[in-house]
Chains A and B, each alone.
Chain A
């Protein structure tokens, strides 16, 4: 503490230690919040199948969907943004578990409108199979979300599969 540089060092690093403590307190204030404050999902279902085609031996489906979900309840002062994504899952003979992300959206905490309301929105990413097994398959659409906090742990939430909607792809390419 006898020279300017030693004092500057002491003040700045004591300050950073205090900031770390404040960040930890903010993280503690979020414990349990993400689990007990789920978004309200009104609808998530397919609207219209645009195409189901084979591209070089690989099946690709394009469709539009409806989504109405309110994410306002899930926000917290220690959440920077919420990453929302739609997963299409299905089962084939060779591969029992297939999960394909077909749409995503980032809701920032600074955005006042935290309701997602899509009507007939085209998928952002096509539903592409690893092989040619999409025809006639039951596709389940499920909504998932990640809480991205300012400080603290990431939380990943998902719509219960019992509330997810399912549609069937046609037997023939179209």
Chain B
């Protein structure tokens, strides 16, 4: 996973867990059932684990470009 991919992964799980939690809390509040909040939160975490933990190909679109290796002086001789 490259640097851009790491940033993307972090943003993805951040927003997924936060939005599932927030939506779940509001629905749970109006249905008067805390279990709803917990289930929404659990689904958010599960989706985040699947999306953000494995090294999916779309996290590797910006590979780090290394400089050409410096030739060995002694080897040139």
By a beta-carbon cutoff of 8 Å, the part of chain A in contact with chain B is 1-2, 4, 7-8, 10-12, 14-15, 18-19, 21-22, 25-26, 29, 76-78, 150-151
14 A/B residue pairs, CB under 8 Å, sorted by A: A4-B53, A8-B49, A11-B48, A11-B49, A11-B52, A11-B53, A19-B38, A19-B41, A22-B41, A25-B25, A76-B32, A77-B28, A77-B31, A77-B32
Q: Size band of the B side of the interface?
A: 20 to 34
Looking at chain A's contact residues, is the secondary structure mostly helix, strand, loop, or mixed? helix
Question: Does A78 contact B34, Cβ atoms closer than 8 Å?
Answer: yes
Q: Is the CB of A15 within 8 A of B17?
A: yes
A22 touches B45 (CB 8 A): no
- Give the chain B neighbours of A18 by CB distance below 8 A: 17-18, 21, 41
Beyond A12-B45, A25-B25, list 11 extra A-B contacts (CB 8 Å): A1-B6, A2-B6, A7-B53, A10-B13, A15-B41, A15-B48, A22-B21, A22-B37, A26-B25, A77-B33, A77-B34
B13 touches A26 (CB 8 A): no
Which B residues are within 8 Å of any A CB, using their own CB?
A: 1, 6, 9-10, 13-14, 17-18, 21, 24-25, 28-29, 31-34, 37-38, 41, 44-45, 48-49, 52-55
Cα A96 to Cα B8 in complex, Å, equals 69
Residues of A within 8 A of B45 (CB): 11-12, 15
Question: A1 touches which one: B1, B18, B48, B49 (CB < 8 A)?
Answer: B1
CB contacts (< 8 Å) of A2 on chain B: these are: 1, 6
CB-CB under 8 A from A19, the residues of chain B are 21, 38, 41
- Among B9, B48, B49, B53, chain A packs the most CB atoms within 10 A around the CB of B53
Q: How far is the CA of A69 from the CA of B34 in the complex (A)?
A: 26
